[in-house]
Amino acid sequence: MPTFDLASVPLRDLNQALHAVGAGANETEFEVINPRGAHAVAVGIDAPVRVDVHGSVGYYCAGMNAEATVTVHGSVGPGVAENMMSGTVVVKGDASQYAGATGHGGLLVIEGNASSRCGISMKGIDIVVKGNIGHMSAFMAQAGNLVVLGDAGDALGDSLYEAKLFVRGEVKSLGADCVKKKMRPKHLALLADLLAKAGVTDAKPEEFTRYGSARALYHFNIDNVDAY
């Protein structure tokens, strides 16, 4: 298994090696050591490789990931898995702001807490946070699912579009146009599936509350102007 020691190897070499993995490649498992908070670690991968990062990273780890499974054995800075297309990204520690921002697909699992704006503008990604999430999470979230086992901060789901939000703990406040919704059997099934995929065994779908868009801001109306 190739190991990249970022204390001595330039980041470019790592990312280029990951981009060079083509169909039928021999090497499909990579290890990164000493990331020491580096930004843009393992970004733009477009192949079903496995990358294990040992240590904490800076901004945009696994950005725009497609197909790969990236596991960070540490914490991540802002924008982990931003604009992810597919694949899986697992963070063993905590995540800073904008985790999973604008993600189109795939699964992002954060085993610790995520900071503010988790899932901002998400476009189809599934995000499972085992701890709490910060304020303004799922702002303008368009599609996909955000599952939070802990609590959510202020203004959850502000200006939400079609993304579904499931929170087990407390929600400090809801953002504009975000409302509590009924949990139907199909939502319970969806949630059970997401929890299983994220390896969560100690939470039941029935313990969660679903939130979604009231869709009152979908057409501009002057009487809603206070909400804009």
Spatial separation of the C-alpha atoms in residues 181 and 155, rounded to whole Å: 16
With contacts defined by CB under 8 A, name the span among 93-101, 107-115, 145-153, 201-209 that binds other proteins: 93-101
CB of 217 to other proteins, least distance (A): 8
> Which listed residue (143, 183, 192, 227) binds other proteins by CB under 8 A?
143
Question: Any contact of residue 166 with other proteins (CB under 8 A)?
Answer: no
**Residue 153 binding other proteins, by CB under 8 A:** no
Cβ atoms < 10 Å from Cβ of 212? 21
CB nearer to other proteins: give 58 or 205: 58
C-alpha torsion 206→95→43→57, nearest 10 = -150
69 and 87 Cβ atoms separated by less than 8 Å: yes
d(CA 93, CA 116): 16
Rounded to whole angstroms, the Cα distance separating 191 from 209 reads 11
Closer residue to other proteins, CB minimum distance, 32 or 120 = 120
Calpha distance 20→121 (Å, rounded) = 30
Name the minimum Å distance from CB 201 to other proteins: 31
Q: Counting contacts by CB under 8 A, is residue 78 touching other proteins?
A: yes
Per the DSSP assignment, residues forming a β-bridge with 91 are 72, 110
Q: At closest approach, how far in Å is the CB of 176 from other proteins?
A: 12
Shortest distance (Å) from residue 111 CB to other proteins: 21
Q: How far is the CB of 115 from other proteins (least distance, A)?
A: 12
Residue from 21, 53, 70, 101 in contact with other proteins (CB under 8 A) = 101
Residue 47 binds other proteins (CB under 8 A): no
Selected from 120, 129, 149, 156, the binder of other proteins by CB under 8 A is 120
Q: For residue 99, give every residue at least 6 positions away whose Cβ sits within 8 Å of its Cβ, in sequence order, or none.
A: 76, 79, 80, 81, 91, 108, 110, 114, 115, 118, 119, 127, 129
